Structure 1
């Protein structure tokens, strides 16, 4: 069986993970990396025994590829994706799909025009946690969803910013880097978001970008939500530290980062502790809730995403997370920025 020939653009934090998964997958192989020719990147290419290109056009002039994974800084996503799409090379674009909704919209139009397979890297869509939680909600076990509470509280070390100084500049803060994953999760669990109300602060790190955010959500279903985000909070209440899907992080199985509550019950995620009333029984805060533990098998969603991308390249599956999905998440993110700047609730049309 011929292996699919893949390139990774941007061998940074997430790029190295993509490379690792490609090397482990028997259906594909790493053909090259694309990045500035710094000493570090030259050494990465040498260790991987693959060529290093400093531009996509020179790569395409030299090699034939089956697919490209773009994991460069956010500001390059659209330009680099466009170079792949016009050549009809399937591409996986790390989130966010673009630096702005307008740029992303133009990219989506190009995708539709060229009929090129494009996948956006909201990898948690492949998580068994999300899929099991969706099933419980869709089965009506929680009743009508009333409210969701979520958090992404963690402490990023100084080295994280020294390794990527762009993370201290506009476009590199935790709203675009981290919160956009949470928006995808919230939409998957509770449906489309109709308005947001947000406050941000950079009081601790003093960078040009936020380090802490609180947001209120209104969903089209009528449900409400609240979320706290901070990359300078020493806490375990984040997806990375509770889900146990990325072994690079410690895991706290007694913690949760979401609680989805409905008229008949609530589900803590990712521990999957379900508390509920009997459907035909009396509901009262005086009455004890029944309890159940929902079991599932933890898997690496990034590995699942790569397998899906391979199937997309082969024409066996359609992209699960499309450019439209990536744009919906980005639209909510832009509304959050706008709400924080204007100190008011922002509707999302």
Structure 2
């Protein structure tokens, strides 16, 4: 058994608590959050409760920690863990700014203490199968990618003030996951052009359209809205989301020199002979694969990271690049220009 502390007992923190409580290889070292709800959660699970995470880390010395605190507290909590040699899983985004993310990256790489960033989709069976098909060369060089995340959040979702304030819009809440998967499957992003929408009249965006250039030469487009009715979002198509119904189908389309792949229905389309082209029919092949549920797979991987048996699937540096690319969308839309990932990293005080 390994002992993992939970820092933060909000919505996703409670999910982490229940997942740890049911995992055969993990014991909850403590739940740490000053709220009365956190104390009740600890009581329900019969685990220690603390209100101060620094004191808790020194007193209980857990093997690992899951950081599910507000974004601006990610860096201080991660640094506290790293200083004590404690591996941590940081919920996305890795931090509230590139500068804060860079501090986590520097500390993790200097000390060798691993940090796993909680971009849970990379652990999903459909994304893992897509990555395997790409790595095996089935698509050839990827030329183009197109995707969408379109769903309708209810009006009462915005009763919470921070969801109408800077950082609470669809970019850092939702698009950041899509950006991470695009980087994971297609390759590093070079530059972005974007438009955003404010159809609800809030200060934060509720939609965005992107044009993406990848470092390997591939081109991409993506559209997102939390103000539109559709079945086209990973939360639906994967069947892996915690709070959404399953709507089987595709939400992401990858086209290469040899074949094309749609995710999450996992159909690969290709010519049967090398000399065929656009005037010949395509054959369809299923490339889906079974696997652990996404959040269980993430927790199991983190346990292996804590034991130093595996390297983090999403390192702190990886999480910083995803954050930088997501923030580039906002800057590109506000200034109506192309923004490079290198520019974002330099402005944020991080090496590109």
Q: Please state how far the C-alpha of 1:186 moved relative to its aligned partner.
A: 0.6
Contact 1:37/1:53 (CA < 8 Å) preserved in 2? no
Report matched runs for 1:255-266 at 5 Å.
Answer: 255-266=249-260
Residue among 286, 305, 311 paired with 2:304: 311
Among 310, 317, 325, the residue aligned to 2:318:
325
Is 2:170 aligned against 1:174?
A: yes
| Partner in structure 2 of residue 165 of structure 1 | 161
SS state at 1:185 partner: helix
Deviates more, 1:127-136 or 1:86-95: 127-136
Q: Does 1:270 align with 2:264?
A: yes
SS, match of residue 260 in structure 1: strand
Which residue does 1:233 correspond to in 2? Answer: 228
- Tell me what 1:78 maps to: 75
- Change in CA separation of 1:273 and 1:91 when aligned onto 2, cut-off 3 Å: same
Residue 90 of structure 2: aligned partner: 93
Compared CA separation, residues 203 and 145, structure 1 to 2 (3 A): same
Q: How does 1:33-48 map to 2 (within 5 A)?
A: 33-38=31-36, 40-48=37-45
Does 2:288 correspond to 1:292? no
Alignment root-mean-square deviation, CA: 1.8
Deviations along 1:95-132, whole A, 9 cap, x unmatched?
11111112111221122233222111112222221222
**Residue equivalent to 2:145:** 148
Change (3 A) 1:207 1:33: farther
CA distance in 1, matches of 2:58, 2:136: 52
Which residue number in structure 1 is paired with residue 348 of structure 2? Answer: none
Task: Say whether the 8 Å CA contact 2:21–2:45 is kept in structure 1.
Answer: no
Correspondence for 1:8: 6
Contact persistence 1:37–1:52 (CA under 8 A) = no
Contact 1:245/1:298 (<8 A) preserved: no
Please tell me whether the aligned partners of residues 197 and 339 of structure 1 are also in contact (alpha carbons under 8 angstroms): yes
The equivalent position to 1:246 in structure 2, one of 238, 241, 246, is 241
Q: Which residue of 1 aligns with 2:345?
A: none
Measured in 2, the distance between the counterparts of 1:213 and 1:337 equals: 9
CA contact (8 A) 1:155 1:232 kept: yes
Separation of aligned partners in 1, 2:195 and 2:140: 31
Q: Which moved more, 1:220-229 or 1:312-321?
A: 312-321
2:212 matches 1:217 = yes
Aligned to 1:338: 331
Question: Which residue, 49, 53, 67 being the options, matches 1:52?
Answer: 49
Tell me if the contact between 1:236 and 1:242 (Cα under 8 Å) persists in the aligned partners.
yes
With normalisation by structure 1, the TM-score equals: 0.92
After superposing the two structures, state which structure 1 stretch, 194-203 or 172-181, moved more.
Answer: 172-181
> Is the CA contact 1:245–1:299 (under 8 Å) kept in the aligned structure 2?
no
Q: Alpha-carbon deviations, 1:26-71, whole Å to 9, x = none? A: 1111132122324x33332332233432221232344231111001
Mapped partners of 2:305, 2:261: distance in 1: 33
SS of residue matched to 1:245: coil
SS in 2 for 1:196: strand
Q: What is the CA distance between 1:197 and its match in structure 2?
A: 0.6
> Matched residue pairs, number?
342
- Contact persistence 1:339–1:346 (CA under 8 A): yes
Deviation, structure 1 residue 298: 4.6
Q: Which runs of 5+ in 2 are unaligned?
A: 343-352
